[in-house]
């Protein structure tokens, strides 16, 4: 069942309305409301606005899944994410080098002996940020999957 269909049904039940009562308030047939709730058809944008008004809610409550305080991801993070994020990591490291090397020399001082470590410092800094972002995205993904498993 589509999110819109589930949300229309949930909102209708919360307001103690039958399909016939809701249909009368909207000026449509009971079969139309039934078709929306089964996900066989979907209301137009104008009808969604009227539906939200009749049910005393906003469009977000009708259009999007109940997130329970957190955004759920619909597609799992896969190979493309890994490939593009690693490519972004390498590009940031490579393109940032001309900016970071003079900054490192001013911050850390030193001479020629320590200068070979500056690209390593930059790589480690970016790696820490990269791992932090990946952990946040994966934990959000796992929380979304956990919520979806709880709903089913």
CA dist 125 and 39 (Å) reads: 49
Residue 33: CB atoms within 10 Å: 25
Higher pLDDT, 22 or 118: 22
Averaged pLDDT for residues 101-123: 71
pLDDT in tens, 16-55: 999 999 999 999 999 999 999 998 998 998 998 999 899 8
Identify the band that residue 145 occupies on the pLDDT scale cut at 50, 70 and 90.
low
Query: Residue 18's pLDDT is what?
Result: 92
CA angle 24, 35, 29 (to 5 degrees): 25
pLDDT surpasses 60 at 72: no
Higher pLDDT, 78 or 69: 78
Lookup: tokens for 33 = 């409301």
CA dist 89 and 76 (Å) reads: 21
């Amino acid at each position: 069942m589509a999110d819109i269909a589930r949300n229309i049904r949930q909102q209708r039940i919360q307001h103690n309305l039958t399909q016939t009562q809701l249909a009368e308030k909207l000026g449509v047939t009971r079969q139309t409301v039934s078709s929306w709730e089964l996900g066989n058809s979907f209301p137009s944008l104008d009808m969604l606005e009227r539906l939200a008004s009749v049910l005393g809610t906003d469009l977000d409550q009708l259009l999007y899944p109940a997130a329970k305080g957190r955004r759920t991801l619909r597609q799992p993070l896969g190979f493309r994410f890994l490939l593009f994020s690693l490519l972004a990591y390498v590009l940031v490291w490579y393109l940032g080098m001309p900016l970071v090397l003079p900054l490192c020399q001013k911050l850390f001082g030193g001479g020629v002996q320590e200068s070979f470590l500056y690209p390593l410092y930059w790589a480690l800094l970016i790696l820490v940020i990269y791992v932090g972002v990946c952990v946040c995205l994966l934990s959000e993904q796992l929380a979304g999957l956990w919520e979806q498993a709880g709903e089913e």
